Amino acid sequence: MASAMGMSFLEFLVGDAYNSLGKINKLKSKILIIHGDEDGVVPYKMGKKIFDKYTGKKKMITIVGGTHNGLQDKNPNLYWGEIELFLQ
């Protein structure tokens, strides 16, 4: 994350605690990623990278125009509908 935001000089502070790419395939469950394509906190490309790396059962939903917060308000039918399908 620090690297993605141009602050790779801070990576030493957290080590690999947030190494999601390195840890994603330790999961043994299906995953659902819901990501806004205009997220200014966690860039969309990072969510896509995690999704692409995972080798298990997965689904990614993109909320067009969605930012980091409020995805359920931007497109509630898609957001809640996909969560409902995922939990079935």
Q: What is the 3-state secondary structure (H, E, C) of the chain?
A: CCCCCCCHHHHHHCCCCCCHHHHHHHCCCCEEEEEECCCCCCCHHHHHHHHHHCCCCEEEEEECCCCCCCHHHHCHHHHHHHHHHHHC
What CA–CA distance (Å, rounded) separates 75 from 35? 11
pLDDT greater than 60 at residue 7: no
19-46: per-residue pLDDT in tens? Answer: 788 889 999 999 999 999 999 888 999 9
Query: Domains of the chain by range and CATH?
Result: 8-87 (3.40.50)
Whole-angstrom Cα distance, residue 32 to residue 57? 9
pTM: 0.77
Bridge partners for 40 per DSSP: none
The whole-angstrom separation of Cα 16 and Cα 88 is 33
What does the pLDDT look like over 62-88, one tens digit per residue? 999 999 999 999 999 999 999 999 999
